Amino acid sequence: LEALPGLALHDLMQLPISKLRDFVDGLQLPSTMLDDALKLLLDEIRHRSRYLCDVGLGYLTLDRQSRTLSGGEVQRINLTTALGTSLVNTLFVLDEPSIGLHPRHE
């Protein structure tokens, strides 16, 4: 992040996840900066932010404390954690998945 002028980790943490995703997708770093670890990190950020946006949590920021999240937000984060794993041939059984969600999202 030192090579990105004007941006610090703190700035990225304050972006909504949807904006962070757009930022990371738009990064065009010189190949000399892209080692295997950085590629892996950026790919992981892309995947996880995509899952969070897909379940309607793109408005959250990464600097938000978990204790301030609603029950529905926590449930959707847990769902993205499960979906983001590389499990194959796995069946997920969701018992009343809409419990705790705002009626608009049920």
Q: Judge whether 14 lies within some domain.
A: yes
* Range of the structural domain that residue 73 is part of: 9-105
Q: Judge whether 83 lies within some domain.
A: yes
The pLDDT score that the predictor gives to residue 14 is: 92
Q: In the numeric block, which tokens belong to residue 79?
A: 């769902």
Q: Judge whether 3 lies within some domain.
A: no
What percent of the chain is predicted at pLDDT more than 70? Answer: 83
The pLDDT score that the predictor gives to residue 1 is: 46
pLDDT digits (tens, 9 = 90+) for 64-79: 999 999 988 998 888 8
The pLDDT score that the predictor gives to residue 104 is: 66
The pLDDT score that the predictor gives to residue 67 is: 94
Alpha-helix residue ranges (DSSP H) falling in 1-106:
9-13, 17-25, 36-54, 71-83
The pLDDT score that the predictor gives to residue 39 is: 84
Q: Judge whether 27 lies within some domain.
A: yes
Question: Which positions of the chain have pLDDT values less than 50?
Answer: 1
How many domains does the chain divide into? Answer: 1
The pLDDT score that the predictor gives to residue 26 is: 85
Q: Judge whether 92 lies within some domain.
A: yes
The pLDDT score that the predictor gives to residue 5 is: 53
- Which pTM does this prediction carry? 0.71
Q: Judge whether 53 lies within some domain.
A: yes
Q: For residues 103 and 101, what is the distance between their CA atoms, to the nearest angstrom?
A: 6
| Residue that is written with structure tokens 């995703």 in the block | 21
Q: Judge whether 1 lies within some domain.
A: no
